[in-house]
Amino acid sequence: KPSQSIRLKLDSKGAEPTYIKRTRFLNYLKDEMSVEIDKSMVEVLEKGRDIVVRFPDKSAFASGSMTLSKSILHTLDKIAKVLEEVEGNVLVAGHTDNTPISTDRIRSNWDLSTGRAVSVVHHLLGAARIDPARITAQGFADSRPLAPNATPEDRAKNRRVEISFEMPSEDEEGQ
């Protein structure tokens, strides 16, 4: 049940500056995801001009799998309802560590990262009325690590799925 504050439109042409809209939206998402944040199931952060919901690998997928964990479905349903209420584009990006994978279904980390992003997109589209033209799925394999792949802990940080809410810049709002 989205609150009144969700009525902000990510790409609205209103008089409110973008940084204020971004801050209100970031705070709204943190509030909505507070239980999941406390359980380390997700992180909600600002990355450049985007707002990102980051799912560590362990909370969203079993090792080497592209099938969503049941424990994350409720969280994705909440995010889908947010997407239904706001405007703007969304990027779902899958990332892996640098440990090679090769199975009958998964040829490489590129397949795994992209497959995970696509699994999230399918769930979001099935959980709410969202225009599919607003969502992009991308796989980055191990090309954008958060940490060096030197330890098991660092490799775990690199295995993730991120949902980025693309926020318009000040220049784009005036167009």
**Cβ atoms within 10 A of the Cβ of 121, count?**
19
pLDDT at 42: 95
Give yes or no for residue 174 having a pLDDT over 70: no
Q: Read off the pLDDT of residues 79-117 as tens digits, 9 standing for 90 and up.
A: 999 888 888 899 999 999 999 998 999 999 999 999 999
* Higher-scoring residue by pLDDT: 170, 4: 170
DSSP result, the chain: ---GGGG--TT---SS-HHHHHHHHHHHHHHHTHHHHHTTS-EEEEETTEEEEEEEHHHHB-TT--SBPHHHHHHHHHHHHHHHHS-S-EEEEEE--S-----SS--SHHHHHHHHHHHHHHHHHHHS---GGGEEEEE-TTSS-SS-TTSHHHHHHHSEEEEEE-PPPHHHHT-
pLDDT at 170: 56
Q: How far is CA 102 from CA 59, 106, 112, 132, 151, in A?
A: 22, 6, 9, 30, 21
Q: Identify the weakest region by mean pLDDT among 9-23, 25-39, 105-119.
A: 9-23
* Higher-scoring residue by pLDDT: 7, 48: 48
pLDDT at 3: 45
Predicted TM-score of the model (pTM) = 0.86
